[in-house]
């Protein structure tokens, strides 16, 4: 009894008091009506009847759950609980009254019951509507975004239900600020029908029409199972409306757990990755686990965007130990703390501050920790900066790779995985040429067949969200109200996500036999200006009107178009249909060693003229950007 009373809080007290008043008033009204026909009951009998009806109905309403749900959530089923509660209460009161005092006229009991039920249900309905209107008054009308739903299937149905519930629950809930106005669906049989009170008005061809006609303020893409090609087609249409777009993730990415139990909670802003034009790449986790599990893994440049993701993914596969090597202490500290918080003492993690340029320091690390797998991600990657400081690109990329790779061979590392870039193919800048030198170093060591180390190179294009990616720059420019800067209207690039890039590295390492260059099929290249336009639209702005796009001219060493293969390289398939092996170009070992020595000596002496000349000797495909871009633009 005590527990029941504790649960019977103020809200329930208000409802119970209102019900008691309605039942008592209904009795008086009933008796007044019956007095016109001389069928009323005496004052004393009426008083006892009212008391007994109020008590018995109150108990029965409680028993039938009429007070167990918040009135703002009341639906048809909950109103029935009121009907059953009053019916049971009246029946008990009449039975008890008839046994103890005298029989109550049937007509009195029936009318009393009907007026009480109607009064109680109407009171709840009015109270519910009043509450909702009070909430609405607390939120500015402009904060409700008129929303178009794309897709009228099950996800849309669930989402609309959650939006309705969220809107009624609390004024401070941002997810309640959707105002679903219409639904778009390519199933023409659905047009004119309603989904949870919202009308399906047309197909995807009508998106622009109804966005204007209905004064839509935002769009929710509610087709999580949509195929990628169709997804891209629809999102392209949506982006042309210049409205903010939110999206439900792929079905496989939906998570329903204690922290994220609703579909509404997973609606997110559209990401540029959603418009890449291909499915997310999947990899053989079993193969990778067999490769990593129980091994000592070292990642140079382990604090960078690629290196840190490598460390995260390696940690998932139960390595014996992970060694992070990085010259930049802040990044190294960040990834160290992240992994320590996630894994605690279950992960043997060593974080070392060291430069791959320092042969003796790196040798100490190899002697002490005896890594079995080395992922070499340390490199200078910013093209314009390396054009200004070419010696640093050669020292860090070329010398650093030679130090790390030769030490790996000397210390019998099982596999050495070098992370390269598409800028190494027919390079037009020092950074790209230096990375091509790194590829040649790895192949040179693989050709020697000395020791047990298997050398492998992975090559891919631009990585979304990495340090130096255009996406973070574009976002900052849009958010700060500044023009978005694109170097050239015809510039195109291949893109992939950081997890995809790292998964490529991991799988390549697991299947490598030594000497390969692994290349990822990255789909169709993306025009940077189109990327900028779409990103601006995703912010709900109009390109060239709300946000200016300024063409600044190609930067030093920049290509119009990147490539993934050199002319001499062919492609060989692997077990993964999106990963290929580029045929290596044979390295003349004697000539290569001599030229490499000349290049490294010139860099150490900071003799820029001699170093650049040596770089051209080592990489015959290294041409000026003007020469390369002129050929590309002729063919555009």
Distances in whole angstroms, Cα of residue 291 to Cα of each of 173, 288, 312, 447, 457: 47, 5, 16, 23, 17
Instruction: Report the sign of the C-alpha dihedral through residues 257, 258, 264, 270, in that order.
Output: negative
For the record, the structure tokens of 13 come out as 């007290």
Q: Which of 381, 395, 415, 423 is catalytic?
A: 423
Residue the block writes with tokens 């959530």: 73
For the record, the structure tokens of 388 come out as 């200004």
3-state secondary structure of 41: coil
- Other beta carbons within 10 angstroms of residue 228's beta carbon come to 15
DSSP 186: S
Distances in whole angstroms, Cα of residue 349 to Cα of each of 126, 249, 298, 342, 346: 63, 33, 10, 12, 9
Instruction: Report the sign of the C-alpha dihedral through residues 352, 355, 359, 361, in that order.
Output: negative
Tell me the DSSP string of 216-239.
Answer: --EEEE--TT--HHHHHHHHHHHH
H or E element that contains 324: strand 321-326
Pairing of strands 415-421, 495-497: unpaired
What dihedral angle (degrees, nearest 10) is formed by the CA atoms of 420, 422, 423, 428? 140
Strands of the sheet containing 145-150, edge to edge, are: 194-195, 198-202, 178-184, 145-150, 218-221, 245-247, 268-269
The C-alpha atoms of residue 178 and residue 171 are separated, in whole angstroms, by: 12
User: Under a CB-based contact definition with an 8 Å cutoff, are residues 418 and 442 in contact?
Assistant: yes
Q: Helices in 370-497 by DSSP H: which ranges?
A: 383-388, 390-393, 400-410, 430-448, 470-479
* Radius of gyration, alpha carbons of the chain: 36
Cβ contacts of 572-580, under 8 Å, gap ≥ 24: 574/511, 574/518, 575/284, 575/511, 576/283, 576/284, 576/507, 577/521, 578/281, 578/520, 578/521, 579/504, 579/507, 579/508, 579/518, 579/519, 579/520, 579/521, 580/518, 580/519, 580/520, 580/521
381 catalytic, yes or no?
A: no
Tell me the DSSP string of 103-161.
Answer: PPPHHHHHHHHHHHHHHHHHHHHHHHHHHHHHHHHHS-GGGSEEEEEE--SHHHHHHHH
- State how far Cα 230 lies from the chain centre: 19
User: Under a CB-based contact definition with an 8 Å cutoff, are residues 462 and 272 in contact?
Assistant: no
Distances in whole angstroms, Cα of residue 513 to Cα of each of 272, 417, 450: 35, 11, 14
Residue the block writes with tokens 């008054």: 137
What lies within 8 Å, CB to CB, of 589 at 6+ separation is: 444, 447, 448
For the annotated catalytic residues, the residue numbers are 423
């Amino acid at each position: 009894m005590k527990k029941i009373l504790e649960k019977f809080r103020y809200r329930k007290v208000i409802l119970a008091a209102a019900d008691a008043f309605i039942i008592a008033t209904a009795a008086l009204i009933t008796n007044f009506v019956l007095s016109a026909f001389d069928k009323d009951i005496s004052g004393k009998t009426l008083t006892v009847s009212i008391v007994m009806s109020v008590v018995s109905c109150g108990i029965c309403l409680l028993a039938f759950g009429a007070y167990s749900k918040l009135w703002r959530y009341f639906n048809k089923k909950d109103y029935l609980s009121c009907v059953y509660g009053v019916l049971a209460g009246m029946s008990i009161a009449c039975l008890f009254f008839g046994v103890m005092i005298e029989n109550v006229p049937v007509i009195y009991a029936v009318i009393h019951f009907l007026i009480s039920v109607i009064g109680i249900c109407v009171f709840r309905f009015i109270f519910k509507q009043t509450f909702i209107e009070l909430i609405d008054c607390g939120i500015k009308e402009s904060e409700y975004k008129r929303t178009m739903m794309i897709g009228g299937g099950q996800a849309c149905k669930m989402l609309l239900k959650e939006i309705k519930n969220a809107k009624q629950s609390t004024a401070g809930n941002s997810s309640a600020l959707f105002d679903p106005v219409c639904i778009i669906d390519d199933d023409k049989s659905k047009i004119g029908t309603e989904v949870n009170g919202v009308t399906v008005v047309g197909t995807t061809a009508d998106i622009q029409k109804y966005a204007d006609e209905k004064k839509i303020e935002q769009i929710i893409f509610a087709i999580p199972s949509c195929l990628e090609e169709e997804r891209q087609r629809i999102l392209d249409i949506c982006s042309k409306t210049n409205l903010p777009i939110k999206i439900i993730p792929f079905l496989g990415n939906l998570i329903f757990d204690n922290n994220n139990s609703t579909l509404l909670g997973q609606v997110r802003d559209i990401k540029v990755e959603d418009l890449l034009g291909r499915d997310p790449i999947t990899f053989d986790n079993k193969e990778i686990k067999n490769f990593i599990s129980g091994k000592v893994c070292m990642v140079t440049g382990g604090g960078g965007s690629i290196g840190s993701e490598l460390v995260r993914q390696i940690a998932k596969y139960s390595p014996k130990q992970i060694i992070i090597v990085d010259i930049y202490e802040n990044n190294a500290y960040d990834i160290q703390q992240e992994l320590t918080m996630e894994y605690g003492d279950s992960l043997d993690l060593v974080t070392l501050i060291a430069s791959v340029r320092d042969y003796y320091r790196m040798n100490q690390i190899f002697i002490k920790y005896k890594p079995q797998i080395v992922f070499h991600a340390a490199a200078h990657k910013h093209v314009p900066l390396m054009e200004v400081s070419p010696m640093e690109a050669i020292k860090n990329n070329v010398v650093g790779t030679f130090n790390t790779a030769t030490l790996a061979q000397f210390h019998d590392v099982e596999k050495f995985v070098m992370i390269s870039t598409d800028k190494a193919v027919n390079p037009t800048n020092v950074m790209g040429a230096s990375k091509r030198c790194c590829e040649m170093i790895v192949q040179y060591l693989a050709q020697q067949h000395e020791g047990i180390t298997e050398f492998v190179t992975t090559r891919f294009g631009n990585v979304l969200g990495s340090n130096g990616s255009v996406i973070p720059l574009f976002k900052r420019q849009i958010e700060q109200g500044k023009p978005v800067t694109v170097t050239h209207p015809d510039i195109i690039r291949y893109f992939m996500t950081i997890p995809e890039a790292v998964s490529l590295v991991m799988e390549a390492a697991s299947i490598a036999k030594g000497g390969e260059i692994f290349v990822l099929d990255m789909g169709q290249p993306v025009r940077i200006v189109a990327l900028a336009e779409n990103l601006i639209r995703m912010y709900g702005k109009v390109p060239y009107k709300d946000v200016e796009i300024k063409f600044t001219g190609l930067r030093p060493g920049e290509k119009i178009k990147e490539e993934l293969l050199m002319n001499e390289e062919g492609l060989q398939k692997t077990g993964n249909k999106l990963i290929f092996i580029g045929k290596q170009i044979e390295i003349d070992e004697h000539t290569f060693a001599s030229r490499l020595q000349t290049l490294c000596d010139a860099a150490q002496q900071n003799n820029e003229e001699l170093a650049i000349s040596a770089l051209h000797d080592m990489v015959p495909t290294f041409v000026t950007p003007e020469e390369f871009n002129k050929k590309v633009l002729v063919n555009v």
